[in-house]
Amino acid sequence: AQKVTQAQTEISVVEKEDVTLDCVYETRDTTYYLFWYKQPPSGELVFLIRRNSFDEQNEISGRYSWNFQKSTSSFNFTITASQVVDSAVYFCALSEVGGGFKTIFGAGTRLFVKA
């Protein structure tokens, strides 16, 4: 069965601090996809990144970076030099190829970045 755990419910940082959002997943499938989405205060979820299970290469996009480790079933997200505009709820999600096409989302981590 699919499961996504985001243990951090809320994180509060001061602007310019680095912050890491944790995501741990469970799956029996060997082929799966992992995602991160951002939900700003305006409400609409925005896609950030997708990773498939065969690609463990870490990725950096500007101030954002993702660390995918199959050995620990984790797909953590780091924001470097956080900014107030990064304040949002961040969701990690998992789709198993063998589990139909539904996507299971974690409970989300609410990030507050204070000026």
Partner 1 sequence: GAGVSQSPSNKVTEKGKDVELRCDPISGHTALYWYRQSLGQGLEFLIYFQGNSAPDKSGLPSDRFSAERTGGSVSTLTIQRTQQEDSAVYLCASSLRRRSSYNEQFFGPGTRLTVL
State yes or no: residue 68 binds partner 1 (CB under 8 A): no
52 vs 72, beta carbon nearer partner 1? 52
State yes or no: residue 100 binds partner 1 (CB under 8 A): yes
Identify whether the C-beta of residue 11 lies closer than 8 Å to the C-beta of residue 113: no
Among 1, 44, 61, 71, binds partner 1 (CB under 8 A): 44
Among 35, 66, 68, 77, binds partner 1 (CB under 8 A): 35
Nearest CA-CA partner of 53 in 66, 65, 70, 67 = 70
State yes or no: residue 54 binds partner 1 (CB under 8 A): no
- Sorted by sequence, the CB contacts under 8 Å of residue 62 that are 6+ apart come out as none
